Amino acid sequence: MSSEFIRQLTDEMYLKRYSKNTIRIYTKYIKDYIRFHNYQHPQALHDLEVEAFLSYIVNVKNVSMSTQTTALNALVYLYKHHVKKPLNIQLNYIRSSRAPKLPVVLTRQEMVSFMTSVPVKYELPISLLYGSGLRLMECMRLRCQDIDFDYKAIRVWNGKGGKHRVVTLSEQLFPLIRSQIDLAKSYFELDMRDSNYAGVYLPHRLREKYPNAVYDLKWHYLFPSTKTSLDPENNNLRRHHMNPKTLQRVIKTIAIESKIEKEITAHTLRHSFATHLLEAGADIRTVQEQLGHSDLRTTQIYTHVLQKGGNAVVSPLEHVFQMIK
């Protein structure tokens, strides 16, 4: 489906600095919603039609709770920001009861195999995904000033849900981080010699509060792109952060080379971070804070992962083998 309405919607989200992935997902569900209602304009639809669609994707498509929630978020955005007719907060639709999948987690030995196959060029960002439990985009959006060497921590700003948090940082990564800051500085110095360079991107509210920050190294990305590009918001020349797809492709390649027979993504490293913290005796509330989960039940999925293995329940077969021996 390609229409002026969808194009305007996409451009609007782009200018609001929604990630490409969020735009892609939101656009998909909005298209599905319009298609479900025989291509009627969303202006002519509202609460009842949204309820029908959300119930349909559960009854017919059998989607998970998280997928249904994402579809709801897309439609909430559509009506609040684009159609300008916010939905009722008490929508009545059939909620998905499909249990969420257990996350894929690497064992410690698998992590060793994985990390030994990581190319030097990508060692730092991949180490941060596992060692600090960062989401992929949280890692890509790190600024040079977000690293706290004194307290061995990383400040994560505007993570999922717009939340801020402080996460742990391995001292083993200090040399790599200092080298990466030096690399970011070399790009910064190169760009500052270009009269067309408009500084690093900052959200509008920060641009107003710190008008000179766009030309300050500490605000520049820790993982800068190798090329400058034009900011779609105003056509200014800037240097954005590394393309997350590059790291995703590298992770898939490493997974193949390390011969680990699990589906490994950037989020698998975050899952492994949380599970290994719990295995080591970390309090679940601490893990919740490190991951930035607003609901403890989201974090508790990792306790289910542990309980599925031999850490919580000893198989009765163990006693039989001991008696045989």
Of 135, 141, 239, 271, the catalytic one is 135
Q: Are 145 and 152 in contact (CB under 8 A)?
A: no
Name the CATH topology of 101-313: hpI Integrase; Chain A (1.10.443)
Q: What is the average pLDDT score of the chain?
A: 91
Judge whether 4-82 and 101-313 match in fold: no
- Per-residue DSSP letter, 295: S
List the Cα angle 185/144/196 in 5-degree steps: 50
Report whether pLDDT(123) > 80.
Answer: yes
pLDDT of the residue at 325: 60
Of 239, 270, 271, 276, the catalytic one is 270
Report whether pLDDT(1) > 70.
Answer: no
Is 95 among the residues known to form the active site? no
Block residue for tokens 């909620």? 95
pLDDT digits (tens, 9 = 90+) for 60-84: 999 988 899 999 999 999 999 999 9
Is 267 among the residues known to form the active site? yes
Sequence ranges of the domains in the chain: 4-82, 101-313
Q: Is 197 left (phi over 0), alpha (psi -120 to 50) or beta?
A: beta
163/225: higher pLDDT:
225
Is 121 among the residues known to form the active site? no
Is 319 among the residues known to form the active site? no
Report whether pLDDT(233) > 70.
Answer: yes
pTM, full prediction: 0.82
Of 7, 160, 245, 262, the catalytic one is 160
203/243: higher pLDDT:
243
pLDDT of the residue at 289: 95
pLDDT of the residue at 2: 58
Q: How much is the average pLDDT of 294-299?
A: 87
Is 239 among the residues known to form the active site? no
- CA 210 – CA 204 distance, rounded (Å): 10
pLDDT digits (tens, 9 = 90+) for 199-217: 999 887 788 888 899 999 9
Report whether pLDDT(318) > 70.
Answer: no
Is 270 among the residues known to form the active site? yes
4-82 has CATH 1.10.150.130 classification = yes
- CA 58 – CA 69 distance, rounded (Å): 11
pLDDT of the residue at 301: 86
pLDDT digits (tens, 9 = 90+) for 5-25: 999 999 899 888 787 788 999
Report whether pLDDT(121) > 70.
Answer: yes
Q: How many CB atoms lie within 10 A of CB 143?
A: 20
The residues facing 166 across adjacent strands are 155
Which helix (H) or strand (E) segment is 317 a member of? helix 316-324
Q: Which residues of 291-315 are buried (b: 16+ CB within 10 A; e: fewer)?
A: bbbeeeeebebbbebeeeeeeeeee
